[in-house]
Amino acid sequence: MERTKFILDEKEIPDHWYNILPDLPEPLPPVLHPGTGEPVTPDDLAPLFPMALIMQEFSPERYIEIPEEIREVYQLWRPTTLFRAHRLEKALDTPARIFYKYEGTSPPGSHKPNTAVAQAYYNKMEGIERITTETGAGQWGSALAFGGACFGVEIKVYMVRISYDQKPYRRVMMETWGAKCVPSPSPDTKVGRDILADDPECTGSLGIAISEAVEEAVSRDDTHYSLGSVLNHVLLHQTVNGLETKKLMEKAGFYPDIIVGCVGGGSNFAGLFLPFVKDKIDGTRPDLRIINVEPFAAPSLTKGLYAYDFGDEAGLTPLLKMYTLGHGFIPAPIHAGGLRYHGMAPIICHLHKLGLVEARAEHQLGTFKAGITFARTEGIISAPETNHAIRATIDEALKCREEGVARTILLAHSGHGHVDMAAYDDYLAGKLHNYEYPAEKVKEALAHLPKVPGAEEKGEGR
């Protein structure tokens, strides 16, 4: 019998995170102050984040130690398991070897606690009593609520309204862990009140929810802001998964030819592939393919412009160089709420610009079809976000069958879909539809990119 799963001992949980910044072939474009166009300083970010996280954001160190208090919490679910998808391979009649690293065994059911626990810890160590944040599908909000419960930090979550309505049990999870969750846009902030006055039925966006969370955080001395994706320190914390995966692939006796993952803000997939892309950068594995999969409804990497933009709708954040659909982007109500963001992690964008990673977009119906196939072969009911990566994994495996080539495919499985049964119910009942963000909407949104003093304003497209 061939092995189906590969595991590590608790003692093998990584004791350092991997920071790719010193290994990039070209430096990452700086984060800019929106008023001056100059690179931000630690003092500029201090109202939002604890200094330990700010230092991690810009650290030149290749490896950053994981505090023992964080590793103790990680032991609740880490290390996670690497599976060989023998049943899926058989169903597809493919010579491909399909592996997936499963992050759905964390208490909130996804990869998100890898950074939520760390962020809650560093805020607590700095004496911060409250954290505000945003969430799309609720994965991040529930993870930070869990992290806050671990270290006694109060959490306030602004949840994108369409997901708040679609996924009520995510709100219940947050409240069970002690957090407060409100739909965004909300009457709690000026940003929210202004948007509701203009459009009382606004379904919300991650950009709007970020604006609300930032507005509240900067208005209170006892409150910081926390982000579940995009920023360098968030991707850094997620590399605990990729470092485990490298060890496990060695145990399995294979190195991936292709790595596939879904991307919204980018933290899940980057956390797995960054330790591998290092091998591509240094020439050890030059042929490695890394495929970022996003929805057609929010196609930042595949249709966006590479330019400086705000991370939020109201323009309260520093400016990030990224592939963007414009910070005013309002996404279609697809069920993959965690992928409905207008931009992308600057690290992923930079690697994409350099040709070290690739991107593709998938339609909603095709992703759910792939998720059903995965559930009926591997048994796991996956999150709608993860289904995007499963779709691309299946397509690559079928290509192996057509070409008669036995490639090794590694899937970043970001979490289960047990709180997404309404989405599966709609799919099985034939009620779901495909959405593709129109080209004219992309053009309209990009017309409102910020004017950055002293910086490149137009950027470059794909």
Are both 150 and 125 inside the same structural domain? yes
Look at 79-88, 127-136, 314-323 and tell me which has the smallest mean pLDDT: 314-323
Measured distance CA(362)–CA(391) in Å, rounded = 8
Q: Work out the pLDDT band at 334, boundaries 50, 70, 90.
A: low
What pLDDT was estimated at residue 451? 81
Q: Rounded to whole angstroms, what are the CA distances from 216 to 48, 71, 84, 155, 297?
A: 10, 30, 45, 12, 29
**Domain shared by 349 and 397, yes or no:** yes
Q: How many CB atoms lie within 10 A of CB 449?
A: 20
Residue 245 falls inside a structural domain: yes
pLDDT band at 72 (very low <50, low <70, confident <90, very high): very high
Q: Is position 86 within any domain?
A: yes
Return the pLDDT at 315: 77
Q: pLDDT band for position 461 (50/70/90)?
A: very low
Based on the domain organization, do 124 and 196 belong to the same domain?
Answer: yes
Residues 235-255 as b/e (b if ≥16 CB within 10 A, e otherwise) read: bbbbbbbbbbbbbbbeebeee
Please check the confidence at residue 231 and state whether its pLDDT lies above 70.
Answer: yes
Asked if residue 330 has pLDDT above 80, the reply is: no
Residues 389 and 336 in one domain: yes
pLDDT for res 462:
35
Instruction: Give the pair of three-digit tokens for residue 394.
Output: 């299946």
Mean pLDDT of the chain: 93
Let me know if residue 461 belongs to a domain.
Answer: no
Q: What is the CATH number of the domain that holds 146?
A: 3.40.50.1100
Is the model's pLDDT at 111 over the cut of 70?
yes
- In this predicted structure, the answer to whether residue 459 has a pLDDT above a threshold of 50 is no
Query: pLDDT at position 452, please?
Result: 78
Ranges 107-111, 172-176, 205-209, 431-435: which has the least confidence: 205-209
Residue 366 has pLDDT above 50, yes or no: yes
Total number of domains constituting the chain: 2
What sign results for the dihedral spanned by CA atoms 229, 276, 297, 313?
positive
Same domain for 423 and 274: yes
* Same structural domain, 175 and 272: no
Measured between alpha carbons, how far is 300 from 266 in angstroms, rounded to an integer?
A: 11
Q: Which DSSP helix (H) or strand (E) runs through 408?
A: strand 408-413
Residue 55 inside a domain? The answer is yes
Q: Are 243 and 279 in contact (CB under 8 A)?
A: no
The CA distance from 120 to 130, in Å, is: 9
Q: In percent, how much of the chain has pLDDT > 90?
A: 82
How would residue 454 be classed by pLDDT, with cut points 50, 70 and 90?
A: low
Residues 190 and 263 in one domain: no
Residue 424 is predicted with a pLDDT of 95
- Domain containing 180 equals 18-65+111-225
For residues 99 and 115, state if they share a domain.
no
Phi, psi (degrees; rounded to nearest 5) at 196: -65, -35
pLDDT digits (tens, 9 = 90+) for 422-452: 999 999 999 999 988 888 887 887 888 988 7
Which of residues 225, 253, 282 is at a domain's end?
Answer: 225
Q: Does residue 231 lie in a domain region?
A: no
pLDDT surpassing 50 at residue 416: yes
Residue with the larger pLDDT of the pair 149 and 449: 149
Average pLDDT over residues 83-102: 98
Whether the CB-CB separation of 28 and 21 falls below 8 Å is answered with yes
Residue 11 lies in a domain: no
Range 301-318 average pLDDT: 88
Whether 99 and 169 share a structural domain? no
CA atoms of 402 and 2, how far apart (whole Å): 24
**Is residue 362 located within the same domain as residue 352?**
yes
Residue 6 lies in a domain: no
pLDDT at 460: 40
Chain segment 270-300, per-residue pLDDT in tens: 999 999 999 999 999 999 999 999 999 999 9
Question: Do the domain assignments include residue 256?
Answer: yes
One domain for residues 204 and 332:
no
The reply to whether omega before 79 is within 30° of 0 (cis) is: yes
Condensed to tens digits (0 to 9), the pLDDT of residues 170-186 reads: 999 999 999 999 999 99
* Same domain? 303 vs 337: yes
How many whole angstroms separate alpha carbon 417 and alpha carbon 288?
29
